[in-house]
């Protein structure tokens, strides 16, 4: 009798732990998706190991990802726009058929590291929110004795 009761308790506990784990994955995916929403602009691009890329075309290229709540993404590369779908599974971001590991995600920065690269020198893309880039630079100023505004 105790063996059956022990088996039922163990099985129930295992099922509860599995459901809790699955719910946590869903919650973490939705948190990442929520933080991704909006437009992100490439700030820097490097190789996976952190070394610089000495290709001016790639370094100076304009790359933007605009993540929307309906799992669609608008990708703009050098003024050409493409539309696609994205998904999040754990820390992996799937954009169309390209997989990135989200290594950092906060209100100031998104760091994506290419996962499905054939070579070991995949890309690491460091992005910042569009809103952060659009904040205007306001120089400090003061009024001189002659009522002229001086900027420094």
Q: Is the pLDDT of residue 94 over 80?
A: yes
What would you report as the CA-atom Rg of the chain, rounded to the nearest whole angstrom?
Answer: 23
**Mean pLDDT estimate for the chain:** 76
Q: Between these two residues, 44 and 25, which has the higher pLDDT value?
A: 44
* Residue-wise pLDDT tens digits, 102-121: 999 998 899 999 986 566 66
Residue 29 three-state SS: helix
Alpha carbons within 13 A on the beta-carbon side of 105: 21
Q: Report the 10 Å Cβ neighbour count for 88.
A: 19
pLDDT band at 16 (very low <50, low <70, confident <90, very high): very low
pLDDT at 39 over 90: yes
- Whether the CB-CB separation of 111 and 91 falls below 8 Å is answered with no
Who wins on pLDDT, 149 or 32? Answer: 32
pLDDT at 9 over 90: no
- Tell me the per-residue pLDDT of 69-93, one tens digit each, with 9 for 90 and over: 999 999 999 999 999 999 999 889 9
Whether this prediction's pTM lies above 0.85 is answered by no
pLDDT interval class at 97 (50, 70, 90):
confident
Mean pLDDT of 14-26: 40
Q: How far apart are CA 43 and CA 63, in angstroms?
A: 9
């Amino acid at each position: 009798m105790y063996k059956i009761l022990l088996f039922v308790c163990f099985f129930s506990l295992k099922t509860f732990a599995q459901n809790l784990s699955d719910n946590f994955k869903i919650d973490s995916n939705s948190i990442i998706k929520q933080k991704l929403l909006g437009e992100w602009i490439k700030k820097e691009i490097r190789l996976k190991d952190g070394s610089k890329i000495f290709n001016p075309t790639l370094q100076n290229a304009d790359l933007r990802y605009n993540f929307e709540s309906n799992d669609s993404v608008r990708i703009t590369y050098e003024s050409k726009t493409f539309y696609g779908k994205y998904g999040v599974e754990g820390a992996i971001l799937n954009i169309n058929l390209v997989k990135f590991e989200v290594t950092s995600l906060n209100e100031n920065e998104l760091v994506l590291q290419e996962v499905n690269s054939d070579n070991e020198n995949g890309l690491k893309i460091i992005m910042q929110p569009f809103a952060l880039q659009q904040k205007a630079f306001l120089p400090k100023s003061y009024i001189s004795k002659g009522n002229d505004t001086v900027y420094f």
